[in-house]
Amino acid sequence: METPPRTRGAVRGGLAGFVRRSPARLAVLAFVSVIGVFTALLSLPGATSSGERAPLADALFTAVSAVCVTGLVTVDTATYWSDLGEAIILAGIAVGGFGVLVLASLLGLLVSRRLGLSQRLLAQNETKALRLGEVGLLIRTVILASVAVEVVLALVLLPRFLVAGESLPAAAWHALFYGVSSFNNAGFVSHAGGLPALDGTSPAGDWWLCLPIMVGVVLGSLGFPVLLVLRDRWRHPRRWGLHAQMTVAGTAVLLVVGAVLIGAMEWGNARTLGALPWPDRLLATGFASVMPRSGGFSTLDLTEMSTATWLVQDALMFVGGGSASTAGGIRVTTLLVLVLAVVAEARGDRDAEVFGRRVPQASLRLAVAVGLVGTSTVLVGTVAMLAITGDSLDVVLFEVISAFATVGLSVGGTADLPDAGKYVLSALMVVGRTGTMTLAAALALRESGRLFRLPEERPIVG
């Protein structure tokens, strides 16, 4: 039965009104719907290697982990799932990665259109979101750029798997899988037991495998607006715009600091870095510093690392990658804005300034909100998981932050979780993937003018 014109108009008007009133709600609804579809697909008997239906908790957890591009697993991907199951997981990663980039870009576009003229011109100069014009062109640009990077990574990795003795179809599948998984910061592996090694012992010294994955993770964690700026202005850093400058500088600093700290604490550990030749130690240290960006791959046994190293990785995972990227966490720019505010306050400056620009007070308030919500979410999740699992605090905190920041690293607590724990981590992954992005957009869109301001009185702080 054909829908009457008035009814169709009402439906379109209602949907458009819903989007305008709450784009954040639309983003969450879209992700939850996609997760439901992939949960149903992974529940098919043909999706498992045994031919039996996967338990709901495992199917849901894997679907959430794939769509939210996390990489945490409760079952071994290569052995538990069939070829069909692995294809479904790869499709979930691709759809989830596209969804993150597109939704983040569209929300940024919507926010920028609600700003004043001068702010819109600034946003256009930094992200080029408005210059892209139509939504369809924006989506096509995001998808084409993502596919291009993933194909290049797969082509680089293909000879590596052929040299390892794999057949052409198997090598092509693994190269494509790791290309998509690394750029989308998913952390899923298609080999049993983790990343493979040419010598059959450890992938920690495999430069051919590790370097492309590291490059893919870093590119995916920078964010689509930054990648556009780098593509067009990579020779002129001063013309990048504040967001791109802060993201690149913050990412570089965190990578170096992470590598130094992890290397210092694990260099003499015979069960991790200490067993490797020094060139391989450098590679493994850099790899371990890149992966908390939200990559989720690992070449070392995390369970053999010290508790201090876990804590460093907790901090790196909580920060995550860049805004409008496939990475999770509270974002690099959020951390930098908070640091700049502290520095300005310590100096007695009225404004937080960096790279010749002044950071607006609205950005500071937003950074505080995102940081506080992220911290509160991790706290609630940690308390819930402690009650459910009875594991030690260091293990639970690592797993909770890894889920919230959609990283995928694990120190062994995820595989043996009861169903209740799987549901809690699934919820954390969804909140971590959609929460900070939609919270930022929702708060920015709620900003409105007032006809009067209340008298100011300063409370005692600290």
Cα pseudo-dihedral 297, 302, 303, 309, rounded to 10 = -140
- Beta-carbon contacts of 212 under 8 Å, excluding residues fewer than 6 positions away, are 153, 156, 157, 178, 179, 182
Rounded distance between C-alpha atoms, residue 149 and residue 162, angstroms: 21
Nearest to 438 by CA among 18, 27, 17: 27
The answer to whether 166 and 174 are in contact (CB under 8 A) is yes
Rounded distance between C-alpha atoms, residue 151 and residue 158, angstroms: 10
Which token pair is 304? 């053999």
- Beta-carbon contacts of 401 under 8 Å, excluding residues fewer than 6 positions away, are 314, 317, 318, 378, 407
What radius of gyration do the chain's Cα atoms show? 22
Rounded distance between C-alpha atoms, residue 1 and residue 7, angstroms: 12
Most distant CA atoms of the chain, gap in Å: 74
Which token pair is 116? 């004043």
Q: What is the pLDDT of residue 124?
A: 40
Distances (CA, A) of 185 to 84, 199, 219, 407, 431: 22, 26, 9, 7, 17
Nearest to 281 by CA among 255, 263, 257: 263
Rounded distance between C-alpha atoms, residue 217 and residue 411, angstroms: 20
pTM for the model:
0.87
3-state secondary structure of 357: strand
- Average pLDDT across each block of 10 residues of the chain; the chain has 462 residues. List them in order: 49 49 66 91 96 95 95 93 96 84 57 44 38 54 85 96 93 96 93 80 87 95 85 83 92 96 94 90 95 92 95 96 87 94 90 89 87 94 95 95 95 87 95 72 57 71 68
The DSSP bridge pattern shows strands 357-359 and 352-354 to be antiparallel
Residue where the block lists tokens 């067009």: 232
Q: What is the pLDDT of residue 376?
A: 93
